[in-house]
Structure 1
Amino acid sequence: MKKLVILGAGTAGTMILNKLYPVLDRNEWQITIVDQFETHYYQPGFLFIPFGIYSKKDVIKPKRDFFPTGVNVCMGEIDKIEPGSNRVLMKDGKVLGYDYLIVATGSKINPGETEGMLGDLWYKKIFDFYTIEGAVALANFFKHWEGGKLVVNITEMPIKCPVAPLEFVFLADWYFTERGIRDKVEIHFVTPLPGAFTKPKASSILGDFLDKKNIKLTTDFSIGRVDNENQKIISWDEREVPFDCLVTIPTNMGDEAIARSGMGDELNFIPTDKHTLVAEGYDNIFVIGDATNLPSSKAGSVAHFEADILFENFIDVIEGRKPRARFDGHANCFIESGFGKGILIDFNYDTEPLPGKFPLPGVGPFSLLEETKMNHYGKVMFRWMYWNFLIKGKELPIESHMSMAGKRL
């Protein structure tokens, strides 16, 4: 009997499990999915928790609710992968042999990578919103905050959902306006990138978006340390930004098991063929989602499109063919802009976000690179789509490859 092991039961791992399980003969295949946590998080929902739009219960469900009946579930922490021996070693001593391995171990924040980040102000005046704990702590802080300097800082790239920090400042503008204290809150977006919108076409259309919302922008800021005593972040070139509340997007890193396995780069992401999703140097290992080092966004939509490609290539490989399907880096993201409106972007490795209509040319109903109420509804509806379709591996009416239909050059 052949053995397929999937490491990680988050978005990417669960999706590919649900796509492959129905088509692999149970008499020929043993499929095992591995994870150390029982709870599945709808991570795009973390963004809404600090502003009271969602609560913790809105973004969590048991992982086992989304596993097909009969799959072998191994709950525990991975020690390391031994690709030369085709086996996975677990911290509890279990050994999982495999014929094929799919790595979907994701990424997580590592605030300890920045000097002073985990100092006296952590979860008092310094917060993240990329974890459920950070988002809930920030929600409790905002309830009673009377204003001051709100700094949102990206530590370094890559990060999960690259547009989420921008969404955060837009929602903060809306939230404090609704509370009647927007004039008492100075919102400051601090990024290591050369602009808030780095793609030329998006920047030309949306470049003045922050100015219109009275959000201060500091670019090319590479944070070196956090001064807890004087409440300021300091860059490697000694520029300083003071804060009364710091919302950080810390360094994102792959799973530590990848480092112990000797398979990752300096951030523990696995070098992966950007088109076939095969791990570089290993013919029987695929990588999907945030665990890869691909030059695409680390976002749920990307994992969805990757899953379609990985499915086809996995079938090719087990039937003795070379993987033929090609992932083009397709990403599709709704950007919540506050006040019941949103923006939509659609792009891939080679094509930057362009204006137009999506998904139907000339019809939409969503508008690309425009701020509309319909785009906001798309963002809101996505949670239902996620729980009922996406995570279950069901087909959605969006092609895995980016289409130019409906886009204006």
Structure 2
Amino acid sequence: MQLDGLRIVLGVSGGIAAYKSPDLVRRLREAGAEVRVVLTAGALAFVQPLTFQAVSHRPVHTELLDPEAEAGMGHIELARWADLILVAPASADLMARLAHGHADDLLTTLCLASEAPLVLAPAMNHVMWRAAATRDNAERLTARGVRLLGPAEGPLAEGESGPGRLLEPREIVALLAGDGPLRGERVLITAGPTREAIDPVRFIGNRSSGRMGFAVAAAAARAGAKVVLVAGPCSLATPGGVERVDVESAREMHEAVMQRAGDCDIFIATAAVADYRVDRVPEQKIKKSDQPVALTLVPNPDILQAVAGLPRAPFTVGFAAETERLAEYAEAKRARKGLDMIAANLVGGGRDTGFDSADNALEVFWAGGHRSLPRAPKIQLAEALVALIAERRHGNDQTTDSRPASG
């Protein structure tokens, strides 16, 4: 995104991180943007309008009905003026109100009344960020095309540590300008399950929801990549800035991937692709009877191995879902298929991570190295994984750890 000449409305919601927002205004203006500031009632408990007026050189807006605005409807003026709406910090309350369509103050009304892209930089206590309600709200917002920047992980104002820190102003400006770690890279991602027909009405499938793959696609796009997402049957909304290709069977996914793999720089295979399909699918529904029905299964093409085996293969990242001996099986799969990296997680056995869950945890392996990405909402975990892929892709990894993971 070119910031020079861009008209940005900066919304500031209540939270101690609001003290960073004046610096954000200054950096946005240094990048060439015009900035107008909207403060919520909560923000006014931490920062004052005069500070923002001084750094933005513009009046600061706090009231929904402004007697000095055109017809008293300041939110309509701002909605028409803005090329981009950025909320930093975005509190848990602000995210909840936006997710549910509230319009009970100037900032939320402005977001509903504008057709400009909306970007949120969350900041809150780490327990609040991990809460199920906040995760649901974040997923709902990203599904509508809202872009989330962060939060970062580290020390918090209350003396605890964890995910919830507002990104530094320089980081926010860099991400808005498209200076992410995958800037200019072409990334191809598979996500979701596949369905293998038994007859015209029945199929063999699996429990994959596609959430992890869609989160990775969104994170890669936020990191500056041009992303193509090949998705099996799932009901998730396409992330903003991502090109989506819908398929159903493993062979359809194989065809779609191989048509595009030669033009990509990075391939990330998060899809849970069926290993087998029914040999012969009847044209009519199989009628129920008291007799056993035998199905002959034949192997599907191995998409991951096919991409890794190309003469000019992209940087290839596989996924492995295991029920036991995670490190052993994942590393064996990585070596056998010639992958650059593999991200593995444990599923089954009553675990509430992995398939059809909002959370996940990953153990990531490459030749001679390993890193643990601890349990987190899939949106946040995807950010960490994409950052690690960028490190390994560009050869600037700082913390190689070859110790085997437990499991």
* Alignment TM-score, normalising by the size of structure 1: 0.29
Higher relative contact order (CA 8 A, sep 6+): 1
If you compute each CA radius of gyration, which structure gives the higher value, 1 or 2? 2
* Alignment TM-score, normalising by the size of structure 2: 0.29
Which protein has the bigger helix share?
A: 2
